[in-house]
Amino acid sequence: MSNTYFPRTVDEITPEWLTNTLREKGVIHEFTVESVSAGVLDGGATSEVQKLVIQYDSDAPQAPKSIIAKIAHQDPETRSLVDDRGLYEAAILFYRHFNEGAGIAVPDVFFSSYDTATGSMLLLQEDLSDLRSIAPGVDCSFDDAVKAFDAAAGFHAKWWDDEFLFDIPWLIDYSDEKYATSISEKSSPHIDSFVETAGSYLPKGVEQIIRDLASRYAKVVSHSGTRPVTLNHGDYIPANIFFDNSENAESPIVAFDWPVYERGRPGLDLGQFLLTSFNNNT
């Protein structure tokens, strides 16, 4: 995808390179980046995430004081999984081809590039840490769920059965039999461990439904990709959403982390959100 130089690690992000990058993006004009310091953030499952704190040569009230940097993971096992699924390239392609026109608020991107030869990746995006997030394991409130569903409704409506989605070769396609079969093959071996872990929390009869469904799961997955379809986030969970409570907010939520967006029925996103947002008593 890229034959041009870009930093492969945060240590390679120099003040000079960042100055040129932000100027090319139109983020800064007369200002110059004087120093960049990085700190590791938690939560990067498939990539290494760091926060860049930026100092300028003079007062720059409109320039970003911090930026989130995502680079390719250094762990060989994680990297192998990511490379096999093409997650880095897919994420970069999303921000290049959708971004502001996605139909749902996403972080501003200052730089994005992927090296097909080495699998290296760099994504510089807006720091949204001033917005509210929901910690893992904490129930989503009803009001937040409504905001997330409203945003998803607009997003799905924009791409509802749009022919453009069928012209994107890298888009995950649930109707693809090979993909559906691979999902089924990866899920079936974990049924026993799931039943054991769920234990008494599993309602009566559900275990039998799961086991009966195992041999048909590929067909269920494939059916999820039959028309009408739309563009799905693919991992639409509270951990990938920021909530903006400010009175002048352009959007009440911002959705981020886009390596597994897909073409399929809208219930894929909504079902995943419900599954990961509430405990059994909510």
| pLDDT tens digit sequence for 51-77 | 999 999 999 999 999 999 999 998 999
3-state secondary structure of 232: strand
Asked if the model's pLDDT at residue 264 lies above 60, the reply is yes
CA distance 183 to 185: 6
Q: What is the mean pLDDT of residues 88-114?
A: 95
Asked if the model's pLDDT at residue 230 lies above 70, the reply is yes
The per-residue pLDDT of the chain, averaged, comes to 93
Give CA separation, 168 vs 88, 176, 205, 262, in Å.
16, 14, 41, 10
CA distance 187 to 248: 44
Confidence of residue 220 (pLDDT cuts 50, 70, 90): very high
Confidence of residue 1 (pLDDT cuts 50, 70, 90): low
Predicted confidence at residue 122, as pLDDT, reads 98
Contact 272, 105 (CB under 8 A): no
Count of Cβ atoms closer than 10 Å to residue 30 Cβ: 9
Confidence of residue 45 (pLDDT cuts 50, 70, 90): confident
Predicted confidence at residue 2, as pLDDT, reads 56
Predicted confidence at residue 91, as pLDDT, reads 96
Asked if the model's pLDDT at residue 26 lies above 70, the reply is yes
CA distance 98 to 120: 21
Predicted confidence at residue 105, as pLDDT, reads 97
Confidence of residue 175 (pLDDT cuts 50, 70, 90): very high
CB neighbour list of residue 6: distance below 8 Å, 6 or more residues apart: 111, 113, 115, 120, 122
pTM for the structure as a whole: 0.91
Confidence of residue 281 (pLDDT cuts 50, 70, 90): low
